[in-house]
A and B are shown apart, each in its own frame.
Chain A
Amino acid sequence: MEIKRTIKYQADRVRGFGREVMSVPGCEKLKDCIQCGTCSGVCPLSIYMDFTPRQVMALTREDFKNEVLASHTIWLCASCYACTVECPREIRITDIMYELKQRAIHEGVYPKRFPIPVLAQEFTTMVRQHGRVSEGLLVTKLYLKTNPIAALGMAKLGMGLMKTGRFSLKQENIKQRADLARIVATVDNESVKA
């Protein structure tokens, strides 16, 4: 058993993190959080989280960047928007989770056994290159990259999908792939400037 300090000190904070997150579109209202815990109560996945959504809101606002970005919570969020709809302060909690995921991916600090960031990146790469997602191909790539052994456990499901005509390794493509690449590049350019 690893002995760790469980109490957070002020010195653990990364100054300015909370303010930075709150400056992103959709995340402004985090400042209004009253820590009522409604989000944690309605979240169907909070029972698996290391920090509940309420705690993530408090930690983010108080600049505990390292704790929040390394948490399982942001990867367990399934984007069901129950918290966002129920929040009495109209905080868009799901969007804040998205923002935290983006920052964790950007800084490469996500828990290694969680395949969700890998899925997100394979997904965006496929869309950028081809314009569409070919589900069979995406899932196959994901398993080969993260957990080839678990792929064996999925073989039966894959065979079933093939039999019912729902699985294909063919890559779908749009015609205007050059346009799409240009749209993405323009956004990239602008973000760097900003």
Chain B
Amino acid sequence: MRYGYFPGCSLKGTGRAYEESLLPVMQHLGVEMVELDDWSCCGATAYMAVDEGKACALAARNLALAEQGGFAQVMAPCSACYLVLNKTQHFMQDYPAMRRLVDKALGSVGLKVSNDTPVRHPLDILLNDVGLDAVKQKVTRPLKGLKVAPYYGCQIVRPYSTFDDQADPVSMDQLLQALGAEVIDWPLKTKCCGGSLTGTLPEAGLRLSYILLKEAKKRGADLIATVCPLCQFNLDGYHDKIEAKWEPVRVPTVYFSQLMGLAFGMPANRLGLQRGFIPMPSLPRAEAVAA
């Protein structure tokens, strides 16, 4: 199993714990992730707000690099990158004028995109290529007794749901259960965290993060598991402000890949767990689990 790995800007910055945990976990499962050479920003939501054509051309440059590198599939762990790369493929397919524009732009630097390289999310790959049985086999330290709220956020299931349900996704639930964790039932799995509004318009954005944390706490979650660097940042980074405005809701938020690493017996500091603000609760002792 070999994938062209598109990290995106966040996984090298605020979301580096995601990359730090995903790489060893995937390697442990025999999944090869090869970083695309000289990848550029996917364009994210900001570029779409300025110029659609450029946004598509920039995203398509990365798809062309993947093809050039001989990768049959691309792995995009960041939700925004995953959405933008998929959206670009849809746009090129649905609108011949967009396709011509992108072809011309890429052609000006000798690049070509045939637009048939699937862009996939790690959850999709874990469930459908690796398989939950293979994951279970690697679990040496089950997360027994850990109550986790699975939080998918917006952009991996909306609007192009390819591997999970748009309203009630279950892939991460199944993965966490395979790790031995207890998955709590909650209705906010795909509710927006506020996105970049937590920084740009906090009076509106922070409330959305607060609602998620409050609900997770109310339902007894020990922690929230996320798949998105922006969601992790929002749910972890603004507790002081949330507390000042509403109430303390200090539930830690970690990446699903960090939980996988822990269940595989990897040390916390090699999974980027020291990078969060709200510390992860200590796992039940291994002996207690075995008993």
A79 touches B47 (CB 8 A): no
B101 touches A119 (CB 8 A): no
A80 at the interface (CB under 8 A from B): yes
Contact B154 A80 (CB under 8 A): yes
The size class of the interface chain A forms with chain B is 35 or more
Binds A, one of B25-33, B104-112, B214-222: B104-112
* Other-chain residue from B13, B48, B204 in contact with A98 (beta carbon distance below 8 A): B48
Most interface-central of A80, A117, A174 (chain B CB within 10 A): A80
**B237 partner residues in chain A, CB cutoff 8 A:** 157, 160-161
State in angstroms the CA–CA spacing of A55 and B178 once bound together.
46
Count the B residues whose beta carbon is within 8 Å of the partner chain — how many?
62
In the bound complex, CA of A90 to CA of B109 (Å): 37
- In the assembled complex, B191 has its CB within 8 A of some CB on chain A: yes
CA distance in complex: A81, B52 (Å): 17
Residues of A contacting B199 with CB < 8 Å?
A: 139
Chain B residues 149-168 with CB under 8 Å of chain A are: 154-155, 158-159, 166
Give chain B residues whose Cβ lies under 8 Å from the Cβ of A79: 45, 48, 154-155, 195
- Which chain A residue lies CB-closest to B107? A186
Contact in complex: B9, A172 (CB < 8 Å): yes
Contact of A82 among B44, B105, B192 (CB under 8 A): B192
Enumerate chain B residues within 8 angstroms of A168, measured Cβ to Cβ. Answer: 13
Report the minimum CB–CB distance from A190 to chain B (whole Å): 6
> Is A132 an interface residue when CB atoms closer than 8 A count as contact?
yes
User: Quick one: given A79-B195, A124-B51, are A115 and B200 in contact (CB under 8 Å)?
Assistant: yes
Stretch at the interface among A9-17, A31-39, A60-68, A176-184: A176-184
Inter-chain contact B40/A132, CB cutoff 8 Å: yes
Asked if B197 and A187 sit within 8 Å, CB to CB, the answer is no
Shortest CB distance B153–A (Å): 8
Q: Please tell me if A131 contacts chain B, counting CB pairs below 8 Å.
A: yes
With contacts A168-B13, A180-B61 taken as known, whether A78 is within 8 angstroms of B192 at the C-beta atoms is yes
Closest Cβ–Cβ distance, residue A110 to chain B (whole Å) = 11
Q: Is A5 an interface residue (CB 8 A)?
A: no
In the bound complex, do residue B197 and residue A25 qualify as a contact, i.e. CB atoms below 8 Å apart?
Answer: no
User: A136 to B58, Cβ gap below 8 A?
Assistant: no
Q: Can you list 13 A-B contacts with CB-CB less than 8 angstroms, sorted by A residue number?
A: A80-B192, A94-B159, A119-B200, A123-B47, A127-B43, A132-B40, A135-B14, A136-B13, A172-B12, A174-B40, A176-B38, A183-B57, A191-B53
Sample of 12 more A-B contacts, CB < 8 Å, known A44-B192, A123-B47, A190-B101: A45-B192, A76-B201, A79-B155, A92-B159, A98-B52, A102-B49, A124-B51, A124-B54, A131-B41, A166-B16, A183-B105, A187-B53
The 7 nearest A-B residue pairs measured at CB: A80-B192, A81-B158, A78-B195, A123-B46, A80-B154, A179-B109, A131-B40
